Structure 1
């Protein structure tokens, strides 16, 4: 079932003020444990489902991933990710995960 609360203006405004929205991966409490579970990304093609602001996409490229595709249902999230990314090896697609 497709759900998209992030394009609700009130919800998005509140989400934008969260520490993880401002500070990125280092401000996300789960990031240290999650990072340890990731394999080496060098020369990998990465798919980030529910990419939000694109923090993980940019991290993957910083770890020499060959290419990254970030997918999110939210128009607002994809717009923010695109605004924050200048790397041509990262592509963002507004798409529901169920539609992949």
Structure 2
């Protein structure tokens, strides 16, 4: 039995990046990308206005936690490496900060 093929990252979600897309299913061209821990993502429109968009973790070694508030505050959700959310609903109105592992 062969191992399943790895799923390719969506369009222009480069290695080690957390990628936010303006629309569902990783659509509408280039994503906004961040690579490290960020205490304030409010200046990134695709992250801050994520509702209706999509998010993909193309990290190489760990999961990422996203937060609705700055400085890792508010509600938080973990996104495993090599996976994404194809459609962000009202449960996650904003991504204001992130932290890897």
Q: TM-score, normalised by structure 2?
A: 0.26
Q: TM-score, normalised by structure 1?
A: 0.27
Q: Which structure's residues are more often helix, by fraction?
A: 1
**Relative contact order higher in (CA < 8 Å, ≥ 6 apart):** 2
